[in-house]
Amino acid sequence: MNRAGILRVLFLLVALCGIVAWILPWILYATSETFERRLPATLLFFAVISEKLWSSFLRMPERVSVAAEKDWTVIAVGLSYAAVVFPSLLDIYARRSGFPSLLSGCAGGVAYSTGLALRLAALKTLGQKWSIQLDQPVALDTSIIVREGPYRWIRHPIYLGAIIETLGIALLFGSGWAIGAACCLFWPAELARARFEEEYLHGQYGEAYAKYSQEVPGFIPRFGARS
């Protein structure tokens, strides 16, 4: 099997992980004994996964195809995200408590909500220019660089939002394994995806994107500067 074939198989694996993460909480709920805050924690986890599946695969299905030729980062991000959410779910049932503490739950809720709001705002700004696979022709329109919304302040609001989200998920459900997976797997995968995108967009836009890169930071906004 060549590189493209391997990437396609792995992309299908990412989609399968999403389906399993969507179904598994209810299997655990049906087969486990009752414990404190079991239902709200399961419902919240189910809502998190449902949103991720919707925004990644179901929101714009025409932008999703099992045809990745070079974009290995979509695989890395998907599998590392699974490495964050599965321990979060399993820790709920292993710990037999829906949430670890009020402090951790509140901090996680704020972080998750902040990351989600940033990511959704960026997706809304991109509109039809968004694609889950960066190496597909539908991924961009080379006639203009998006500089509205959060793209006025940073070049990678979707990836930054996702990074903040995963920290929020790990804190919300109180999973040390999820925190480790977020730090060691998911965040590096998002940074690698940002680098892949930078190289791709430099090739598509040339000097126009180079100028945008100089004026607008990647992840940390300079609120005192004007883009």
Q: Is pLDDT above 50 for 139?
A: no
Q: Residue written as tokens 């290995």?
A: 72
pLDDT tens figures, 73-132? 999 999 999 999 999 999 999 999 989 888 999 999 999 999 999 999 999 999 888 888
Q: Which of 189, 221, 44, 205 is nearest to 122 (CA)?
A: 221
What does pTM read for this prediction?
A: 0.92
pLDDT tens digits for 5-41?
A: 888 889 899 999 999 999 999 999 999 999 999 999 9
* 114's tokens: 């902040």
pLDDT band at 62 (very low <50, low <70, confident <90, very high): confident
Instruction: For the chain, state the CA radius of gyration.
Output: 18
Ordered alpha helix ranges (H), the chain? 3-31, 38-53, 73-95, 102-126, 157-173, 176-181, 187-205, 207-215
**Residue ranges of the domains in the chain?**
3-215
User: For the chain, what percent of residues have pLDDT higher than 90?
Assistant: 71
Record: fold of 3-215: Four Helix Bundle (Hemerythrin (Met), subunit A) (1.20.120)
**What was the pLDDT predicted at 104?**
93
pLDDT band at 144 (very low <50, low <70, confident <90, very high): confident
216 or 2: which leads in pLDDT: 216
